[in-house]
Structure 1
Amino acid sequence: MGSSIYRFGPFELDPTGGQLCRNGQPVRLGSRTLALLCHLVEHRDRPVSSKELLRAVWGDESVTGAAVTTGLYALRSAIGDTGRQQRFIRTFPGRGYRFIASTWALPAGSRDIIQFCRTADGTRIAWAATSSGPPLVKTANWMSRIDLERTTSLFTHWFEGLARGRRYIRYDERGCGLSDQTSGFTLDEWIEDLDAVVDAAGLDRFPLLGVSHGGALAVAYAAHRPHRVSRLVLNAAVARGRLARADEDADTDAADLDLKISLTGWDTHDRSYQRFLSTQFFAGSPPEQGDEFISFLRRSVSADNGARFLEAFSRIDVADLARQVRCPTLVTHSRDDPRNPVSQAMELAELIPDSRLVLFDGRNHLLTAGEPAWPAFLAELDAFLAEEPGSG
């Protein structure tokens, strides 16, 4: 068996440890069934014949092909697959069986460890880190809950892509997720949260990633802590929230209406309001993804704190601080982002002295696993971080 941990859907497979988990909870599998899954996952690039499975799983025992059929039935039942609805394992008549689900492989030591630290004002902050590699710190963005990100399909690829080969560090900001449910949301307090996390992680200098509204915090932190931030990566970010950048009364009215509709949708089960909010984040995705996003937000933050976050984000303004950023900066953005217009990415790239701008074709505010912009973003990020002295 291999030395990697594999993620697919809500499952995590550890061949070395001999365990399959679903949403963090162990799934009971017989040793043969587990070995069958491991072999299919580790050879997912091709159909695997019944003969090969017999040899790999049952060895020299005198068994027939019926053992494979029985084993596959048990395996499919355990992971919610069927012979008719083949989401994970597909039958190729005359050729064998192939594991077809999107799968991410991580080094066996790259487990996600959740810890807690306290800010200067005593607020408890939940943070998590994978175990090895050069660091990458991600600011908290929107409403997070770090214990759910790996099992929520909207965000699994973010974890897997950013953690691969790195010590990936992220956290829940105050008032959100597993952190203390305080009600104060200011830029200075968010900087305190990030200070506490990187101190607890033992980091002196590190690259910093800001996504969506976390981008404004990343900009402010890089400006206030130039000795700590070596490189800055921004995705779907803005220097100024919608109310902060409104130049005319009509813009202010539109921004205020957007905020009120979003707040109403937050605290109601009316799907029309919820859909209004979710389509601003996933305009180019099926409606189910928007529904999953709303469900994730509801589990991440209370309605009261969600309203406070929305209000604070709409008024944030780090344009002056952006001019003070001195580290190399990569600004990335989807051309048709409905939440934060591409003009805002252009403004950031113009404000930050040592920056470069990369635009992707796409309509999602938060990049999804299946769109071309996602691997393009990872490639740009990897190449940019590889330029850092000592990264290789």
Structure 2
Amino acid sequence: MRAIYHFGEYELDTSRHQLRRAGAAVHVEPRALDLLCHLVKHRDRMVPKNELFDEVWGDRFVSEAALTTALRTARRAVGDTGSKQQMIRTVHRRGYQFVGPTTVSRAESAVDPVPEPETTVGPTPGRERQVIQFCTAADGTAIAYATVGTGRPLLKAANWMTHLDLEWVTPVWSHWLSGLARDRQLIRYDERGCGLSDWAAPSYTFADWVDDLDTVVRATGLDRFPLLGVSQGGAVAVAYAVRRPERVSRLILAGAYARGRRVRAGTAADREAAALDLSLARVGWLHQDPAFLRVFASQFLPDGTPEEWQEFIGFQRQTTSPENGVRFLEEFARIDVSDIAHLVRCPTLIIHSRDDARVPVSQARELAALIPDSRLVLLESRNHLLTATEPAWDEFLLHIDDFLRG
């Protein structure tokens, strides 16, 4: 027998780890759902903060801000807020208590004989609801782009490594898609030489990447929209926002940088390190050396497990050819938008992992200093690509939601 908790329009099945509203599943980030389940099961008492830390995060150290973020997400999932506190009440300096009027029903088994399809309330669509189309750049290169979800648009500039179809089934990107497409229409595309776009293109320059973004905007018929740039896609987004200020309403830069490693190398030692890094990458990518690929994966996901690194390696092998991988890395090292970033005219949110092992946090500070109407948010993480299970992921989505609403 398993318990199902009913409060208002909601029902919470703690065994299945599922929240429903009026019969339809509600998407809740995992940490926030863990917190909600624990509060509902122990609704007869105030739950101390330390207990929540232990139950939700185990022996992993997280900041008070992580608990606050998870609590905020849990409240929002059940239609509550910190000011109303109709469902979750704060006991000042001590903890929290679930106070929503609750009834409990019983079901026969905690295990379904036939698994239910995963669904969510609103536009948190899956792979099967995605529409993939193609447009053609001026030099004849075919660029694949995809739209998913409904609502106001969010355009994500291409970055490496992506694959519009396979992203849905890899833990590297799947949570990014479902999170970013929630309550909005997400438009994204594979850059030339990568994913479903043409792997054989006349050139692979930074200027080509900015042109390709412009091509996708024209193909989708977007007029004015917020633009997200991740990693080197951030520099592409900056250049496009400067080129088309009438198009970009808001700019979000995540794990981004204004200058590639070769450009920002200020000393002889830095230049030697940048050259060595690129030389190792050439050899590693061209020969698909397993040792190099593991190190490369660990730079993106330093807190990842060996299994996650293997998933990352398998995914990167499907996104592009070894030759193109080398071309990308060479061009990334030459990126420089530091001389035009001050021309960005829209509000800009810069989000960066405080201990990013791939792109140092100094690059985020540089972008924040260059772009006039910008604000910087640092997340407690070492990962260049945030994972679904770390507290920083929930914070990342909340900051984006707040910024786009603002």
TM beyond 0.5: yes
Report deviation, 1:47: 3.5
| Secondary structure, aligned partner of 1:170 | strand
Match of 1:284 in 2: 303
Q: Show CA shifts across 1:227-278 (max 9, x none).
A: 1100000010000011110011110110111112222222334322111211
Give the Cα–Cα distance (whole angstroms) in 1 for the partners of residues 244 and 323 of structure 2: 31
The question of 1:180 aligning with 2:180 is answered no
| Secondary structure, aligned partner of 2:287 | coil
The question of 1:97 aligning with 2:131 is answered no
| Secondary structure, aligned partner of 1:96 | coil
Give the Cα–Cα distance (whole angstroms) in 2 for the partners of residues 109 and 276 of structure 1: 33
Seq. identity, %: 55
Report deviation, 1:108: 6.9
C-alpha spacing 1:306/1:266, structure 2 compared with 1 (3 Å):
same
Q: Show CA shifts across 1:87-130 (max 9, x none).
A: xxxxxx997316899x6725479421000111223221100001
TM-score, normalised via structure 1 length: 0.73
| Secondary structure, aligned partner of 1:280 | helix
Higher relative contact order (CA 8 A, sep 6+): 2
Match of 1:192 in 2: 211
Match of 1:56 in 2: none
Unaligned segments of structure 2, at least 5 residues = 1-9, 17-105
The question of 1:158 aligning with 2:176 is answered yes
| Secondary structure, aligned partner of 2:346 | coil
Match of 1:123 in 2: 141
Give the Cα–Cα distance (whole angstroms) in 2 for the partners of residues 295 and 140 of structure 1: 20
State which of 241, 255, 258 in structure 2 corresponds to 1:236: 255
Q: Show CA shifts across 1:10-65 (max 9, x none).
A: xxxxxxxxxxxxxxxxxxxxxxxxxxxxxxxx9773337xxxxxxxxxxxxxxxxx
Q: Give RMSD over aligned pairs.
A: 2.3
> Which one is further off, 127-136 or 254-263?
254-263
Report deviation, 1:131: 4.3
Runs of 4+ deviating beyond 4 Å: 98-101
Report deviation, 1:224: 1.0
1:125-274 equivalent positions in 2, closer than 5 A: 125-181=143-199, 182-274=201-293
Give the Cα–Cα distance (whole angstroms) in 2 for the partners of residues 271 and 109 of structure 1: 36
C-alpha spacing 1:109/1:241, structure 2 compared with 1 (3 Å):
closer
Match of 1:45 in 2: 13
Give the Cα–Cα distance (whole angstroms) in 1 for the partners of residues 111 and 400 of structure 2: 32
| Secondary structure, aligned partner of 2:274 | helix
Give the Cα–Cα distance (whole angstroms) in 2 for the partners of residues 106 and 212 of structure 1: 30
| Secondary structure, aligned partner of 2:343 | coil
C-alpha spacing 1:351/1:98, structure 2 compared with 1 (3 Å):
farther
Mapped contact 2:123–2:183 kept (Cα < 8 A): no
Mapped contact 2:258–2:336 kept (Cα < 8 A): yes
Give the Cα–Cα distance (whole angstroms) in 2 for the partners of residues 165 and 98 of structure 1: 31
Report deviation, 1:205: 0.8
Give the Cα–Cα distance (whole angstroms) in 2 for the partners of residues 338 and 276 of structure 1: 11
Mapped contact 2:124–2:179 kept (Cα < 8 A): no
| Secondary structure, aligned partner of 1:292 | helix
Give the Cα–Cα distance (whole angstroms) in 1 for the partners of residues 171 and 138 of structure 2: 35
Q: Amino acid of the residue matched to residue 222 of structure 2?
A: L
Report deviation, 1:190: 0.9
Unaligned segments of structure 1, at least 5 residues = 1-41, 49-92, 388-392
Give the Cα–Cα distance (whole angstroms) in 2 for the partners of residues 119 and 130 of structure 1: 22
Match of 1:380 in 2: 399
Give the Cα–Cα distance (whole angstroms) in 1 for the partners of residues 121 and 229 of structure 2: 23
Give the Cα–Cα distance (whole angstroms) in 2 for the partners of residues 94 and 138 of structure 1: 43
